[in-house]
Amino acid sequence: MDTYKHFSPMDDFMTVNGKGYSHKDINLIREFFTDEQWDVIDSALSEYQDHDESYEIVHETLDVMGQVFRGAF
């Protein structure tokens, strides 16, 4: 039998960079910027990744942004 855990708004919903965030926290982070602003950030990071010394941190950052978007709302 499957057991499903009900998440309270204050429970850790996701861990990003070793820190736990509630679903409410993730939604708040997602709302920091408009969709258009998030698109600009994504585009800028995609351009910046072309610099060899930045490739790894850019991909880590894009992964975190993806986690936030998948977990929000």
17 vs 8, which has greater pLDDT?
17
54 vs 5, which has greater pLDDT?
54
The first and second tokens of residue 1, run together, are 């039998």
Sequence-distant (6+) residues with CB within 8 A of 48 are 54, 58
pLDDT at 42: 92
pLDDT at 5 over 60: no
Rounded to whole angstroms, how far apart are CA atoms 45 and 38? Answer: 11
Question: pLDDT digits over 12-65, tens only?
Answer: 888 988 899 999 999 999 999 999 999 999 999 988 888 778 888 888 999 999
pLDDT at 1: 46
Residue with tokens 């010394």: 53
Query: Is 27 in contact with 72 (CB distance < 8 Å)?
Result: yes
Sequence-distant (6+) residues with CB within 8 A of 46 are 58, 62
10 vs 5, which has greater pLDDT?
10
